[in-house]
Amino acid sequence: MPAPFVNWSGTVTSRPSAWARPRTEGEVAALVREVRGRGGRLKVCGARHSWSSIAAGDDLQVELGGLAEVIEIDRRAMRVRAGAGCPLHVLLDALAAEGLAMPVIGSVAEQTLAGLTATATHGSSLRVGNISSLVEGMRMVSGAGELVELGADDPRLEGARVHLGALGVLTEVTLRLREAFRLEERRFVLPFDEAAARIRELGEAHAFAKLWWLPHTESALVFTYDETDAPGERDARAWAVDAWINRNLFPALLRLGKAFPSLIPRTNRSVAKLHFRPSIRRGRSDHMLQLVMPPPHRETEIAVDLADTEALLRGTREVAHRDGARVDFVVELRFVKGDGGWMSPAYGRDSCQLVIGGAYSPDIDRVFDGFRRLGQGLGARPHWGKELALTPAEVDALYPRAGEFRALARALDPDGVLRNPFLDAILGPSPG
């Protein structure tokens, strides 16, 4: 029996009928044509780091580890071409060896380029958009088994930047680069109310900025990042300590909360007291922006207009504390520059994106429901890689060009070969 699909946190499973690991674009095309010929469906997964079921297949499940090469680094054009299965950390190290960098990255570097672009994975900057906004070109195999190449001047590229896995099997991505740069990170603690009032201002004033808040505590940890030429490197020993904490100490504390939920607020306050401390660090940009993989947990995330930043953060505190709820994971607030990607949560507006999660909180489903209602009142768009529930009508109301995206998906995948239950739920019935 084929192995099940299981995402990294163990919250999404599916039962593919078979797995395939193509090594070339030609093998990808042959797989798609075979599946189409028998009336089946094919779904690609990368690092399986999404909390949504966007990558979970119900027929042939495809992994792109055979298409993971960094194909070409063009310093003159400041572009890189890489296979869609290339993990971000592999690309970042290859770029650093050439004195180059990506203008923005997310917190975790295990994901593949196909997954990063499918879900509009983002960092936290109002000067640079999400990773999908860096895309200058794509190659994919359509649902009809044909090679499709989208260049920077192709009008379909804006629709394909955040492709949701609905347009084709991505085989190659071209991304915009910049010269390597160094960052100075400053961490400081603010009372929650002051942090809520100032965080937008800080986001606008710095190259990168974000906020962490642990429910049941009265302070927030703020991070700002600015370019620097000052010396200093991220200490490998400190990274190892962070890894040990995330693999051992935090999971133990979370399990304690599972066994004794009444201890969650007290545990959060203890963690904040120990971990939320002022500091200054400097180092290579991607080293400063990356985090050690956190313990498995659930997450949901929404994006609102930048003007609603304070309302979103204050509303999240109310939701997290409502009716004695106990939330055992950090809330993170980040910023994303507006872009033109049709299905990007930051389409047409500078945005604040906020994630709330839980590992063993007995109240997390109720909290997630309240968070979604908060987002609905603010016109929020959910992150495609986090837990979400949207109808096609809601998608149309939130994304002005959703209809054009559906039309593009029908043109490139006329028989619904690339569909799965996730896409059927948000885009409507499969055309196949």
pLDDT at 432 (0 to 100): 64
My answer on whether 141 and 253 are in the same domain is no
My answer on whether 107 and 160 are in the same domain is yes
Residue at a domain's end among 36, 63, 90: 63
Domain ranges, residue 342: 182-382
Residue 287 lies in a domain: yes
User: What CATH number should be reported for the domain holding residue 341?
Assistant: 3.40.462.10
My answer on whether 256 and 341 are in the same domain is yes
Domain count, the chain: 3
**Whether the Cβ atoms of residue 120 and residue 132 lie closer than 8 Å to each other:** yes
My answer on whether 83 and 152 are in the same domain is yes
Residue 48 lies in a domain: yes
User: What CATH number should be reported for the domain holding residue 134?
Assistant: 3.30.465.10
pLDDT in tens, 54-111: 999 999 999 999 999 999 999 999 999 999 999 999 999 999 999 999 999 999 999 9
Q: Residue 39: count other Cβ atoms within 10 Å of its Cβ.
A: 11
My answer on whether 115 and 206 are in the same domain is no
My answer on whether 121 and 259 are in the same domain is no
Residue 263 lies in a domain: yes
Residue 170 lies in a domain: yes
My answer on whether 44 and 103 are in the same domain is no
Long-range contacts (CB closer than 8 Å, 24 or more residues apart) made by 256-263: 257/326, 257/328, 257/359, 257/360, 257/361, 258/359, 258/360, 261/326, 261/360, 261/361, 261/362, 262/326
My answer on whether 257 and 359 are in the same domain is yes
Quick one: residue 63, left, alpha or beta (phi over 0 = left, psi -120 to 50 = alpha)?
beta
pLDDT at 234 (0 to 100): 77
Residue 431 lies in a domain: no
Q: How far apart are CA 242 and CA 252, in angstroms?
A: 14
Residue 401 lies in a domain: no
Q: How far apart are CA 320 and CA 215, in angstroms?
A: 6
Backbone angles phi, psi at 99, to 5 degrees: 75, 30
* Coil vs helix vs strand at 195: helix
Report residue 233 as tokens: 């490197």
- In the chain, which residues have pLDDT < 50? none
Q: Which amino acid is it at 109? A: A
Nearest C-alpha neighbor of 115 from the set 141, 159, 144, 85: 85
My answer on whether 38 and 93 are in the same domain is no
* Coil vs helix vs strand at 40: coil
Residue 428 lies in a domain: no
Residue at a domain's end among 43, 63, 83: 63
My answer on whether 50 and 162 are in the same domain is no
Q: How far apart are CA 250 and CA 276, in angstroms?
A: 14
My answer on whether 278 and 290 are in the same domain is yes
My answer on whether 219 and 325 are in the same domain is yes
Residue 317 lies in a domain: yes
